[in-house]
Structure 1
Amino acid sequence: MTLKIENTVFARLETEGRLTHPIIKEEISPGRFGFRGEIALKFQTSMADEKRPPELSIWQVFSTAREGAPDFEVFMCYLLSFEYLQIAIDVLGEFFKPGGKYFIYSNNQDLLCKYRIPIGDVTFYCLPIGEATAYNEFLELLFIDKNDIKKLNTAGKMDYIVDKALEFDADWDVISYEEGLKRMGPVRNPNENRPV
């Protein structure tokens, strides 16, 4: 039997229309459901039947959950601004657990700094984003060579990466969210220096 989204923590997000632009949204291995895409945090007010894009979203989400589990197994995303982490917690907080592997790439974090940021009992690995996508930076962080996974299908690649992410640990500086806000720079235009 194929694992359905209704049997995972993604069910509420799906019902609320928060899971957008999916690259993958399906069971990726027995009992493990994967989602890659965007998660809407704030919605614009819709007029009549008009469907408007979200006012604020988390981009490049890479996340999995086990069947029946109340939390995300692995969660990785890209935030345009580090401060949006608190908004993400407001929307998704119930799905993060102590000991989970949660990775946040933010546009305005110093390129030379990596932090562990505890929020409640949950720790987030917070990293800067360079020129690459969060996905490519994530592979690099986990020491995954693209040649190791190129023969796998999309679900197989995701499953492989999640297994590696679950083994990840780092003793980066621990700072508070408030301290993180103080250290963040201005948001860079993510499209500058990109070839047209």
Structure 2
Amino acid sequence: MAKRLTTIIRREQIAEAALALVADQGVGALTARNVARVVGVTAPALYKHFPGGKADILASVLDLLDDVKTEGIRQALEEPGPALTKLRRCYDLHISVVERYRALPNLVLSDALWSDETHLRDRLLANHQRHQSEVAGIIRQGQAAGEIRADIDADQIFVQFLGQFLTIAILYSRRGDMIDPKTQAEANWKMFAQGVAP
């Protein structure tokens, strides 16, 4: 029997429960009642802290994603050394997120986010633009230092950078055995680093 909630449910706990549910049963299974069951609380207790139900749960997933990406970029900016070292730090963090939250692409690319909850879509886009600006800034520093080719716009290189882990994330999200994320991540990084070398 589900327990009553006596303390505030951490948003990260709810996000992780939602992602686990989607990984096991698909996006269609993402309901407040199902998430409450996974967390082990009553549905009314979950609704007390997440009155928007599914929309609030999706918001908690976006919070988790934004926190992880922001922290990864912060670490990359503090990393000593050349721009590619900083980008690699950011890349490795994204790969670890892909491995930990296999269902993340299913939610981030779902109609539930892009069509049903447009305010969350707008928030996701704003966060993406902020992160793109920060990572493209690292790329521009590398271009200015002669470490990264300057004949391609930094924002276009960013899109290529993004593709290096998004393809892994999408394949891995469908079935965990379709791809070995670590092995493919190494191959993708090698191709990316060679492609952007001056």
TM-score (norm 2): 0.29
TM-score (norm 1): 0.30
Higher strand share: 1
Higher helix share: 2
Larger gyration radius, structure 1 or structure 2 = 2
Structure of greater relative contact order (alpha carbons < 8 Å, 6+ residues apart): 2
